[in-house]
Structure 1
Amino acid sequence: MGEEKTGRVVTSADVARLAGVSRATVSFALNNTQQQRVSEATRAKVLAAADQLGYVPHAAARSLRAGRSHLVLMPVAAMAIGTAVSDWIDGLQSEFEQHGYTLVLHVGRFSDPVTAARSWAEIRPAGVIVLEAENLTAQGAAILRRAGIKAVVSLASRPVDGVFTIDLDHASVGATAVEHLVARGRQTIGIIMPEERGLLAIAEPRLRGAQEVASKTAATVTALSMAYTAQSAEALADDWAERNLDAVFAFNDNYASLLLHALQNKGYLVPKDVAVVGADDLVQSSLLRPALTSVALDAPTPKQIADTLLSLIETGSAPEVRSFKPVLVHRQSS
């Protein structure tokens, strides 16, 4: 697509010739330029010609002509996109599309936050949304500003100079889970630490939140390494008796589901022998037997996040956005 049989790249000039219009009209029609009105009949003719030739506009060239980018960059860890996050990102993309922006996920592994920021800056997006606080520092934010990136939003528990921060404290998720388990009479609690790349940035603060709650009670918490595989869950269940744990906060509902089944296969009764709590409150949580207790995140809507970033791009400021709040959804597994 985008090339003739000779291998020559199709250009907007080819589209203009086939449609019988000027290259400027092609640009106005394909970019839906509001300042230059194009009739629906002409737009349809241009779109048909572009489709016939397999022409795709050059985003970088369009940005140079317009003097601005229409990309919004979201750095993500390769393994950090679960069902709940992917659904939220899909909603975010839909919101940006309505305003002519494209959300781009940037998967990368960097040695430090400055290197990460430089990599993001090379793409020259209009805005950046950072999901993991550890990936953004004041120095990194300064690099993004010097690159002309107008809006940087971070979902984090701590503010960073030059960054619009929406409060998301993963420690509160672990704390909520352990507070519930302690209230249910559990004393020896395991905390699942995923082995998959990228997830420790979320798991470690959740562990700290769990430890802080336990330190104020007679309960103890133990970090447990587990990969997102049936074999890893089964191996952990094999050693459960030696660990003498009566509860587990399993990072999220996906890990919790694997471990719950593995424990049941070894003859443990849930919740009588082991109480299990997950996070994200996925649809599958209520379908398990027993139904899974989960920590949901009461989050700002994708529209609120998108509106915030767009306001920062257009005006340089935005109103405060409410925090992400953990909410315990109690079911039969605990």
Structure 2
Amino acid sequence: MPESTTTRRVTAADIARSLGISRATVGFVLNDTPGQTISAATRSRVLAEAERLGYRPHTAARALASGRTHIVLLVLPDWPLDFNLRRNIEEASLALDEAGYALITYTPHQTGQARPLWETLQPDLVMSMTPWSPGQVDSIRASGITRIIPDPDHPTAEEWTEEGPVLQVRHLHDLGHRAVAFAGSADPRVADLVRLRRHAADEAAAALGLEPMPTEDLELTDDSAGPVLAAWRDKGVTAVAAYNDDVAGALVGAALRMGIAVPIDLSIIGHDDTPLAAMLEPTLSTIHVDTVGLGRFFADLALSAVEGRPAPTVAPELRATLVRRRSTAPPNERD
């Protein structure tokens, strides 16, 4: 009969038997229990034997005993997981890992058929990148979770502002463009973000004395950019501010297929400074935002809630900056 490959988990009792000491002493060492008078020599012996035997802590039992899972659950809006959002999450995950916490992301969907992940994981903290949807806070609290960010009992009055579109329009205006259009994304998941950036661009154009900007939302799965560009060119548009680099890339591709030279005939500026912006030809002028700093800020907020650390008093410098490349130039001039 073949030998079973199943191996039993090494326990603290196994370590105690191997060393001939009490199970309590081993438990105090492995759990780093404060207030115990255990010699450095005994502590070293326990840790060495635990390593030799292949001991691994039982996560569920440790969580039950301590009341902590060392899990932070980040609730994401139902947005496309684009480059900047991934970079934001990766940086927050790294910062939390350095402090001994695992960051797990969860995206609730409108169908709402799946069991909320906070019920399954029992995280130490649930935090969201956007305001809570109706019913979410009640569901989280019903699961016994008390640490919630943003704090539903003390909502902030801060409003999200978009500086990037303002820089886009100012840049094109400074180059001499007076007929500027705005290209959004037709993805319904980002409709609110598109609306926010379009509004900021419209206000910037009005402040500079420009005519109201023609605007269209583009599908990135077809060639809808082509007819839009043709209509804008008939209206005399010489420059386009795009919702993001993906939309800007679609416009560059459509212009190339239509024989419209970028930036000689048409300047295009993106937003987000993704790798795509530097890989396209011509390289994209775009807007850079410090998403890495924002990820670290989220991690600091989480640690202040679960460990009683001082809360970060100032958000990271999120001021957008212009990255000028070859896709923008004065009207009818080479860069």
Distance 2:7 2:73 in 1: 27
Aligned twin of 1:327: 321
The residue number in structure 1 matching 2:193 is 202
Q: CA deviation at 1:189?
A: 0.7
Structure-2 change in CA distance of 1:16 and 1:99 (3 Å): farther
* Partners of 1:311 and 1:131 in 2: CA distance: 16
What's the TM-score once normalised by structure 2's chain length?
A: 0.73
Is residue 182 of structure 2 the alignment partner of residue 190 of structure 1?
yes
Matches within 5 A, 1:122-271: 122=119, 123-133=121-131, 136=132, 144=140, 147-153=144-150, 161-162=153-154, 169=160, 171-184=162-175, 185-195=177-187, 198-216=189-207, 217-229=209-221, 232=222, 234-244=223-233, 245-271=237-263
Pair member with larger Rg:
2
Q: Is the CA contact 2:9–2:55 (under 8 Å) kept in the aligned structure 1?
A: no
SS of aligned partner of 1:198 = helix
| Deviation digits for residues 148-171 of structure 1 (CA, Å, limit 9, x no counterpart) | 3324149xxxxx753579x78353
Shift of 1:237: 1.5
The equivalent of 1:106 in structure 2 is 106
How far off is 1:107 after superposition? 1.6
Q: Distance in 2 between matches of 1:163 and 1:23?
A: 48
Residue type of the alignment partner of 1:44: E
Alignment-derived partner of residue 315 in structure 1: 308
- Could you tell me which of 48, 52, 57 is aligned with 1:45? 52
State, as a whole percentage, how many aligned pairs show the same letter. 23
Q: 4+ runs of 1 displaced by more than 6 Å?
A: 21-29
Corresponding residue for 2:97?
97
- Partner of 1:220, secondary structure, is coil
| Partners of 1:249 and 1:79 in 2: CA distance | 21
**1:157 maps to what in 2?**
none
Specify the SS of the correspondent of 1:191: strand
Deviations 1:102-136 (A, max 9, x none): 1001022238xxx89x9465354222332234xx2
Q: Quote how far apart the aligned CAs of 1:210 are.
A: 1.5
Unaligned ranges ≥5, structure 2: 35-42, 329-335
Change (3 A) 1:181 1:172: same
Q: Deviations over 1:32-64 (max 9, x none)?
A: 633375644223234x366xxxxx9454x5433
Query: In structure 2, do the counterparts of structure 1 residues 204 and 11 end up closer, same or farther at CA, with 3 Å as the change threshold?
Result: farther
Per the normalisation by structure 1, the TM-score is 0.73
Decide whether aligned partners of structure 1 residues 85 and 43 sit closer, same or farther in structure 2, where only a CA change above 3 A counts: farther
1:296 aligns with 2:288: yes
Structure 1 position 25, deviation (Å): 8.8
1:243 match: secondary structure: helix
Return the structure number with greater strand share: 1
Secondary structure of 1:286's aligned partner: helix
Conservation of the 8 A alpha-carbon contact between 1:168 and 1:325: no
Distance 2:25 2:168 in 1: 58
Q: 2:130 corresponds to which letter in structure 1?
A: E
1:171–1:208 Cα contact (<8 Å) kept: no
Unaligned runs of 5+ in 1: 51-55, 155-159
Query: Matched residue of 2:189: which SS?
Result: coil
Matched pairs, number: 304
**1:318: Cα distance to partner?**
1.1
Q: Distance in 2 between matches of 1:306 and 1:132?
A: 15
Query: Residue 230 of structure 2 aligns to which amino acid in structure 1?
Result: A
SS in 2 for 1:80: coil
Return the alpha-carbon distance in structure 2 between the equivalents of residues 127 and 180 of structure 1. 42
What one-letter code is carried by the residue in structure 2 that aligns with 1:332?
R
CA contact (8 A) 2:166 2:204 kept: yes
